[in-house]
């Protein structure tokens, strides 16, 4: 089961600069003594919340990675987003809606549980928070639009290649952790395990990339980019 580690201490929080409280002057934090979110640990076999649950809390990811998924009654699953440290999630309650997806850890994670009511109050009183959240929603929306383009207009190899490029962006050919199984990559890109596996094997053979226990390394961005843009796109 999930495990409450203790109360959070925003003032000394290591990842505050990544959170929605980044822009908030530290002085203000001192004033907000009433706000003491819980830090909670989840194992990969648990879920933080389920699609359809009443959205009583929002969360900030402190450690690890989280996948947000939607599942059809027949079991087909789509990953709609992968979260990283500092990301806010589970905020459907702000629109008086239940959670629209399920949040599952990809490894052991640590989150900050923010009760909806308190967070709303805090947001109301601090325009910096308001502003940061707004910018993030817009960014999410933009990413969602990008993803729709991927899913609707690109073919398998293009989707996979541009996903890998995006995942390793800015790392200049060094090793990057990719804690997603073949199946999960498939669920993210609307492909089957086999298709993902085939292309990856292919590209490893061609020397475009390297893989070792959950980490990958792009050896030829150009090679991948050529695949991603096979039909003349980018």
Partner DNA sequence: CGGCTCATTGATGCCGATCAATTATAGTGG
Partner DNA sequence: CCACTATAATTGATCGGCATCAATGAGCCG
Q: Which of 97, 108, 194, 202 binds a copy of itself (CB under 8 A)?
A: 97
Question: Taking CB under 7 A as the rule, does residue 75 contact DNA?
Answer: no
Question: Taking CB under 8 A as the rule, does residue 189 contact a copy of itself?
Answer: yes
Question: Taking CB under 8 A as the rule, does residue 229 contact a copy of itself?
Answer: yes
Question: Taking CB under 8 A as the rule, does residue 182 contact a copy of itself?
Answer: no
- Binding marks (x or -) toward DNA, 6..45, rule CB under 7 A? ----------------------------------------
Q: Are 158 and 191 in contact (CB under 8 A)?
A: no
Question: Taking CB under 7 A as the rule, does residue 108 contact DNA?
Answer: no
Footprint of DNA on 160-189 (CB under 7 A): 181-183
Encoded tokens for 182: 């073949």
HEC letters along the chain: CCEEEEECCHHHCCCHHHCCCCCCCHHHHHHCCCCCCEEEEECCCCCCECCCCCCCEEEEEEECCEEEEEECCCCCEEEEEEECCCCEECCHHHHCCCCCCEEEECCCEEEEEEEHHHHHHHHHHCHHHHHHHHHHHHHHHHHHHHHHHHHHHCCHHHHHHHHHHHHCCCCCCCCEECCCCHHHHHHHHCCCHHHHHHHHHHHHHCCCEEEECCEEEECCHHHHHHHHCCCCCC
Distances (CA, A) of 156 to 1, 5, 123, 149: 37, 42, 42, 13
Encoded tokens for 12: 């000394």
Contacted entry of a copy of itself, DNA, none for residue 72, CB cut-off 5 to 8 Å set by kind: a copy of itself
CB of 208 to DNA, least distance (A): 13
> Would you say 76 or 84 has its CB closer to DNA?
76
CB of 189 to DNA, least distance (A): 8
Footprint of a copy of itself on 48-77 (CB under 8 A): 68, 70, 72-74, 76-77
CA–CA separation, 29 vs 168, rounded Å? 35
Contacted entry of a copy of itself, DNA, none for residue 142, CB cut-off 5 to 8 Å set by kind: a copy of itself
Q: Which of 47, 130, 156, 179 binds a copy of itself (CB under 8 A)?
A: 130
**Residues near a copy of itself, by CB under 8 A:** 68, 70, 72-74, 76-78, 80-81, 91-92, 94-97, 100-101, 124, 127, 130, 133-135, 137-142, 144-149, 151-154, 187-190, 229, 231-234
**Residues near DNA, by CB under 7 A:** 155-157, 181-183, 190-198, 200-201, 204, 211, 213
């Amino acid at each position: 089961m999930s495990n409450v580690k203790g109360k959070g201490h925003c003032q000394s929080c290591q990842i505050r600069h990544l959170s929605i409280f980044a822009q908030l002057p530290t002085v203000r934090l001192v004033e907000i003594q009433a706000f003491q979110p819980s830090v909670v640990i989840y194992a990969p076999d648990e879920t933080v919340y389920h699609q359809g649950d009443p959205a009583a809390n929002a969360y900030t990811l402190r450690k690890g990675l989280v996948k947000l998924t939607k599942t059809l009654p027949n079991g087909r699953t789509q990953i709609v987003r992968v979260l990283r440290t500092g990301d806010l999630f589970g905020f459907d309650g702000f629109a008086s809606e239940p959670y629209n997806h399920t949040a599952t850890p990809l490894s052991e994670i640590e989150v900050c549980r923010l009760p909806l009511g308190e967070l709303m109050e805090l947001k109301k009183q601090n325009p910096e928070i308001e502003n940061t959240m707004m910018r993030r929603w817009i960014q999410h929306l933009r990413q969602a639009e990008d993803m729709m383009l991927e899913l609707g207009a690109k073919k398998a190899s293009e989707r996979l290649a541009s996903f890998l490029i995006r995942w390793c962006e800015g790392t200049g050919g060094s090793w990057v952790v990719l804690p997603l199984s073949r199946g999960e990559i498939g669920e993210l890109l609307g492909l089957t395990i086999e298709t993902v596996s085939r292309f990856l094997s292919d590209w490893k053979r061609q020397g475009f990339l390297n893989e070792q226990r959950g980490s990958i390394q792009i050896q030829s961005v150009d090679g991948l980019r050529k695949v991603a843009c096979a039909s003349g796109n980018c």
